[in-house]
A and B are shown apart, each in its own frame.
Chain A
């Protein structure tokens, strides 16, 4: 049996390799387009290629977590592609080291900025999970997919100011929780 537009999600979730071939054929252009938009300025072919491989591997490894049908699969793929490409971009930027003499230390980092910058985002995810579903969505779009308020408002069909105020409230809530969460504890 071969994968087609009706059964490929199921076959992917059953770890059938022909489904992987199918999604590479169907979605490589999308994945490459999104990755290129973000990583293009780095002018690093190897990085781009590695990122694309990584995106497809993540789709393969996490296929069971996709909830939906063939028609909204592309949004899930696009979210992963965007998330991964941003991750690669941030890491690549970080590796371009600058001598300590040239770094200006900001006087103040907000807790939220720090947790967003934390390399592993699981802590942030744990915090985001405590928000209500619409705010979860907004925070994911804003901080994991780097989408701007305008774009988020269009996707969700609410006004930009509603998005902004929800981000503001979400941040406040995250800050409050983060304070008694991971940061601020000294080793004993």
Chain B
């Protein structure tokens, strides 16, 4: 895919800058030194990360207990934070994130509570941030930071999972995604936390403060596989658009369009895709989100865990779930009064349509 730097080829920009005074050798040296410092840092870090990830894998195979041990042994060199992804990865959901993360080490302290952002990974769609809270204050078992990072048009949703690792120390992975229909290369992130509370949504004991983080994140290298497969069944048209394969996950983009029949008969349409590969592995969808016209059609993106490197085919099974909301009463004329929600164990109408498989060649 061509990006702006490729499109700049063959464009003749005015290079006439005579009015500018000359540049001194000292200035050149200074700039080069600064640049050298920055690229040197980037290089060193990636090597270190690679070494670390290899170590984790090896220890992990021998015995999981050693993983914890090896970290404490290196505690001085490797802050615990660097491994938050692994801490939350017991179900495999963050596998591969740590070695692809960009290190930030941003610290903000306010009202006796220290929040440090350690790593971040952006897959073009979802931003993952690992952070740690340290304090002498009693924040209980599951505190909440009452704010989500904002970038692009994100900031509407965020999910996180805070864990207490020891007295006064909590770690978490925050996930937020944007709603553009295509992936982004780089994002400016602004995370402004104004309170930390012992319960979600500013409940319980609330500690006000000001923890403001700003940083840029580049998306990881992504390989795209175009699909453009369309299937029609039962009034629904399903189109698989593409798969974006990142070093730690893959993201499937698809859309659905419903006919009037469906729209008139059902309150909700939800479309998900089961994914298996030719080696028999099945992939878990870590998140599914859809946006668009809530009635007629939606664009969906679903993030799955890391692709097995030896897989050569993926088998996608789209599943369409049609459901009705709760009926909470009846009008005098006998018409139902519908709620705008559906409960977990609802007995309202529900139908599942499994579409035929789509096979994707990866290599």
Contact = CB atoms under 8 A, between A and B. Distances in A.
A82 B17 CA distance: 12
Given A29-B23, A57-B35, A188-B293, A141 B28 contact: no
A163 interface: no
Nearest to A77: B15
Interface in B13-47: 13-15, 17, 19-20, 22-23, 27-28, 31-32, 34-36, 38-39
Interface string A10-37: 0000000100110011001110111011
A167 to B, nearest CB: 15
B81 interface: no
Interface stretch (B135-143, B185-193, B332-340): B185-193
Interface in B124-179: 152, 156, 179
A57 B39 contact: yes
Contacts of A33: 17, 19-20
B35 A56 contact: yes
A120 B291 CA distance: 19
Q: How large is the interface on A (under 10, 10 to 19, 20 to 34, 35 or more residues)?
A: 35 or more
A80 B9 CA distance: 10
B301 interface: no
Given A79-B11, A188-B292, A121 B4 contact: yes
B13 A75 contact: yes
A53 B34 contact: yes
Contact of B179 (A30, A34, A187): A187
Contact of A83 (B2, B4, B22, B38): B4
Contacts of B32: 20-21, 24
Q: Which secondary structure characterizes the binding site on chain A?
A: helix
B343 interface: no
Q: How large is the interface on B (under 10, 10 to 19, 20 to 34, 35 or more residues)?
A: 35 or more
A100 to B, nearest CB: 18
Interface in B284-328: 290-294, 298-299
B181 interface: yes
Contacts of B63: none
A90 B101 CA distance: 29
Contact of B184 (A29, A30, A36, A122): A122
Contacts of B180: 120, 122-123, 182
B7 interface: yes
A120 B9 CA distance: 21
B11 A141 contact: yes
B110 to A, nearest CB: 22
Contacts of A140: 4, 7-8, 11
17 contacts: A17-B39, A20-B36, A28-B27, A28-B28, A30-B15, A30-B17, A32-B23, A53-B31, A53-B35, A53-B38, A62-B5, A68-B10, A79-B11, A125-B7, A140-B7, A144-B4, A188-B292
Interface of A: 17, 20-21, 24-25, 28-30, 32-34, 36-37, 52-53, 56-58, 60, 62, 65-68, 72, 74-76, 78-80, 82-83, 119-123, 125-126, 128-129, 136-137, 140-141, 144-145, 147, 151, 155, 181-182, 185-188
Given A122-B185, A123-B182, 11 more contacts: A21-B32, A37-B17, A57-B39, A67-B9, A76-B8, A76-B9, A83-B4, A120-B186, A122-B182, A186-B293, A188-B291
